[in-house]
Amino acid sequence: MNTFRILGIDPGSRVTGVGVVESRGQSLYHVHSECVRAGDGDLGSRLAVIYERIQAVIDECRPHGAAIEKVFMAANPQAALILGHARGVALLAAVQQGLAVAEYSALEIKRAVVGAGSAGKGQVQHMVRVLLGMDHEPPQDAADALACAICHIHTAQGAQHLATAAMADAHSAGNTRE
Amino acid sequence: MNTFRILGIDPGSRVTGVGVVESRGQSLYHVHSECVRAGDGDLGSRLAVIYERIQAVIDECRPHGAAIEKVFMAANPQAALILGHARGVALLAAVQQGLAVAEYSALEIKRAVVGAGSAGKGQVQHMVRVLLGMDHEPPQDAADALACAICHIHTAQGAQHLATAAMADAHSAGNTRE
């Protein structure tokens, strides 16, 4: 039975959702999720909070791959610039720990989790709870991060690649992996 | 005589300018400058190059503070988003090494270096060479980074604050600073 874990990230300059989902055979399990609140400090210190917290989650949960939401914004460039800062340090945290990072659009994520690209935020939270057998709905940013991880697991190509990575990982389990 | 060093950063997703300027009394000196080329890899690995190179420059040159260009863009949100990624990891690299990071608009930087906010890129390169007594003009991105550092040094408040930091640093020079 193929078992592997995926880290999902929903970056934001104030709140970044982080979630880890485990795939065992045909089943999905919730490993960890949280809303990283970057605080009210200057941008630099907010970025440091996001970066350090994502690195800590990777250390604790040992995912085999990561997925992050693609951003399409017709909105204002200043908001895109600030969101880019948060997304940049999130990507960096994953890449520096050796994780390949896949990107999915909001449409792809909603389709994977709810079955419809037009799904609302509440539907995503509800379906994440159901798919992962959680006893309560995760908060919105955490749910979006978990949904992103689920989307990656459902993507055949990703799953194939990750199963291979997990097997390689299992083979080297005797080695130090500090 | 107050002596301190400032790191200037001109972030870009392809090329990031990095420069370190030393202020000794009334004089400015070129310590280091380079254009960090992030390569043709995926965005994550380009961000890792920028982050690691800036950390290495900080390790080598030991600046007392940092300055980065503020970004105002009426242009397209997608370009702002990508630039934000590069700027985010640059800010992170400085903040994680304990540097306060000041931000200046392109207008402020040109005024500080050339005396006119409408100065062209070539004028900035020329004046950076003159002000730092360099024997050749630095490449454009490196010149913009050095200009950003010079702007910070010329800002009275910044200089005052940094002189204090440099003195505190000198007092603790006997301690290990690895």
- Distance CA(B161)–CA(A141), nearest Å, equals 39
The pLDDT tens digits of the residues spanning B127-138 come to 999 999 999 999
Confidence of residue B71 (pLDDT cuts 50, 70, 90): confident
* φ, ψ dihedrals at A100, nearest 5°: -75, 140
CB of A15 less than 8 A from some CB of B = no
Chain A interface includes B26 (CB < 8 A): no
d(CA B66, CA B100): 6
Closest residue in chain A to residue B74, using alpha carbons only: A77
Give B6-30 pLDDT, tens digit per residue: 999 999 888 999 999 999 988 999 9
Domain boundaries, chain A: 3-176
Contacts of A120 (CB under 8 A, 6+ apart): none
- The closest alpha carbon to A31, from A21, A23, A39, belongs to A21
| Cβ of residue A116 closer than 8 Å to a chain B Cβ | no
B96 pLDDT higher than 60? yes
- CATH code: domain B3-176 is 3.30.420.10
Q: What is chain B's alpha carbon radius of gyration, rounded to the nearest angstrom?
A: 16
Q: A81 and B81 in contact by Cβ < 8 A?
A: yes
CB contacts of A88 in chain B (<8 Å) are 47, 84-89
* Ramachandran angles phi, psi of A129, nearest 5°: -60, -50
The residues, ordered by sequence, that sit 6+ positions from A60 with a Cβ below 8 Å of its Cβ are: A32
Catalytic positions of B are 10, 69, 141
